[in-house]
Structure 1
Amino acid sequence: MLRLITRAFSPGGAQGNLSVLFFHRVVAERDPLSPDEPTAAEFDRLLGWLQRQFTVISLSEGVSRLANGNLPPAAAAITFDDGYFDNLSLAAPLLQKRNLPATLFVATDYIDGGIMFNDMVIEALRKTNLSRLDLSELDLPVFELEDWSQRRAAVNAILRAIKHQAPAQRLDTARAVVTRCDVTLPQDLMMSREHLREFSRHGFEIGAHTGSHPILTKLDDADAYRDIQRSRTWLEECLDRRIGLFAYPNGKYGQDFDSRHRDMARACGFDAAFSTEPGVCSTAADRWALPRFTPWDRSPGRFALRMLANCRNRPTAA
């Protein structure tokens, strides 16, 4: 019944929709500092629900068939952002088991042992032996760190405060947090070049996600263009293949990117670019600002309802 309802909302052809899901990580067990990241068991169940209700296709196929007006009924695609190693070690085997395609958007500066600013903060708060963290010199509060709940609250507060800082300031703040926590950061959160090649050899697609994962609106136009373009160049040299898809960091239109960056993605030669605005991709949508969303629900009924509600949101080009 749910499959029939889904197909009524997304009938295929010229009236079809493409639902694009996005994730960051898949973890072995619930992470007390990132509790919204699905465990491997939860991700596997979600794939089962998705497979029963939708026709899962690759993102590049979805973009092509969207342009040609011949999407299958209830079309969906799966994407990951950033380039975490667990996408290869945990998510990929589950996708392969079900013969499902996926696309990974890579922030190239963090491949081969790098770590993103948000993970610097998360891992610093995870590993520190401090029970109290005074960040007043950084214009941040004093945080109690007695339990996981307090540490998670501290992580969330710090990341909210620094996410939209200029990239250099954001990195400096994250480094200062690490210094005050007196910890050594992991170097294995992200994939290596060889991991990316292995992921690609398994048949999964790779897309660009900038080099440094900046909030593009915080850069001048020349720097923003370079950051977008160099990620594509790096990936094409690494994988020896054309990179045709792009995803905007953070991905909220008007806040994290705008029409200038949409035009940059097109000028760089990408076939399509993706935001994190909710909704489905339709023939009326802007191909360089296509929506994606994540269904957070952990029951099949609520998952289905969330997906159906998203199918009713059809953004159009400005």
Structure 2
Amino acid sequence: MKQAGFRFIARTLSLSLGGPRLSILIYHRVLARPDPLFPAEVDAAAFMEQMSLLSQMFRILPLDDAIQRLRAGTLPPGAAAVTFDDGYADNADIALPILKMAGVPATFFIATGFLDGGRMWNDTIIEFVRRVPLPELDLRPAGLGCHRTGSLAERKAAIQALIGTMKYLPPDTRLERIETMLRCVPVDLPHDLMMRSDQVRALSRAGMGIGGHTVNHPILASVDDASALQEMVNGKRRLEDITSAPVTLFAYPNGKPGKDYHLRHAELARKAGFQAAVSTAWGAAGKESDPFQLPRFTPWDRHPDRFRLRMAMNLTRRNEERVFAEAA
């Protein structure tokens, strides 16, 4: 009865806001088990429960199909889609079996430069700090200060501080700082966090969608337009080579409208050959939404009722991503 009630609420809210709205969920990783350093990160058990709850509340569609129906005015009430960003190996190893078991389609936006043994810069920081065998980390030679690492809380604070410091640096400057950081304390880092090409191929063969996410995951606002376009085009081509299928959808790295990308990047995505793109602005997409700035959302609540309520309330959010980008 409770599930039916929430489904009714979600559909009623969707229809009362000027027509059906599309809820697009965004995930990054699905861990095999809880991570003591990041206990709020989604693990297999939590993801399985969320997919079950989502199926009870919404009609889950493949993202490309949902976008086509949104444009055509044929989107059913209570529609939702599931997406993943970046291309982590656990998407194929852990998330895919759960998605297949739950009968949930998903789209995976993959940064191709990290396939087959690569590692994203933020994960380099996370795994470096996780593994340093010291109660204090002196990174002054890298211009990154000193950080306490004697407890889990201190390590988490160090990670957040380092990522915050480097997130909006020019890519070359950031890479140089990270390389200097790694020379401060030698640590063995993992090389299996991201997907292999055959895992991308397996996702595609399982009927999952594959979308572009650039090659090197730059924040597009921090690079020139020619470089941004090249990142989009080359990432798209690599994925099409791997899957032997068209790649028509794109996700902006980091994805905050007006900060991480601007309206000109939406035009670049169109020029690169994509048919639609998603941001990380919260909200649900309606008929008024720019197809190259579709909002996404994920409630991280562990309690089922809070998960349902937050998903239902997200339907009431205005499409602020368009306002943000136009104002930038």
Q: Of residues 96, 118, 123 in structure 1, which corresponds to 2:122?
A: 118
Contact (CA 8 Å) 2:141, 2:180: kept in 1 or not?
A: no
Identify the residue that residue 30 of structure 1 maps to in structure 2. 34
- 1:162 and 2:162 equivalent? no
TM-score by length of 1: 0.97
Q: Of residues 21, 39, 45 in structure 2, which corresponds to 1:41?
A: 45
Identify the residue that residue 314 of structure 2 maps to in structure 1. 310
1:178 is displaced (CA, Å) by 2.4
Identify the residue that residue 103 of structure 2 maps to in structure 1. 99
Could you say what the CA RMSD is over the residues aligned between the two structures, in angstroms?
A: 1.5
Identify the residue that residue 221 of structure 1 maps to in structure 2. 225
- How many residues in Structure 1 have an aligned counterpart in Structure 2? 318
Which piece of structure 1 moves more, 30-39 or 80-89?
A: 30-39
Amino acid at match of 2:220: L
1:143 is displaced (CA, Å) by 0.8
After superposition, residues 62-211 of structure 1 pair within 5 angstroms as 62-211=66-215
Contact (CA 8 Å) 2:141, 2:181: kept in 1 or not?
A: no
Contact (CA 8 Å) 2:221, 2:260: kept in 1 or not?
A: yes
1:12 is displaced (CA, Å) by 9.7
Distance in 1 separating the partners of 2:57 and 2:179: 44
Distance in 1 separating the partners of 2:240 and 2:83: 19
Amino acid at match of 2:185: C
Runs of 5+ in structure 2 lacking a partner?
A: none
TM-score by length of 2: 0.94
Distance in 2 separating the partners of 1:114 and 1:150: 27
Distance in 2 separating the partners of 1:179 and 1:296: 36
Distance in 1 separating the partners of 2:197 and 2:223: 27
Contact (CA 8 Å) 1:32, 1:152: kept in 2 or not?
A: no
CA offsets, 1:266-286, max 9 Å, x none?
111211001000001111001
Distance in 1 separating the partners of 2:36 and 2:179: 22
* Partner SS state of residue 15, structure 2: coil
- 1:290 and 2:291 equivalent? no
Distance in 2 separating the partners of 1:177 and 1:206: 34
Change (3 A) 1:230 1:253: same
Change (3 A) 1:36 1:177: farther
* Partner SS state of residue 11, structure 1: helix
Distance in 1 separating the partners of 2:308 and 2:217: 32
Identify the residue that residue 257 of structure 1 maps to in structure 2. 261
1:14 is displaced (CA, Å) by 7.6
1:136 is displaced (CA, Å) by 2.0
Contact (CA 8 Å) 1:136, 1:142: kept in 2 or not?
A: yes
Contact (CA 8 Å) 1:33, 1:122: kept in 2 or not?
A: no
Contact (CA 8 Å) 2:143, 2:177: kept in 1 or not?
A: no
Distance in 1 separating the partners of 2:288 and 2:261: 20
Distance in 1 separating the partners of 2:234 and 2:157: 35
Runs of 5+ in structure 1 lacking a partner?
A: none
Contact (CA 8 Å) 2:220, 2:253: kept in 1 or not?
A: yes
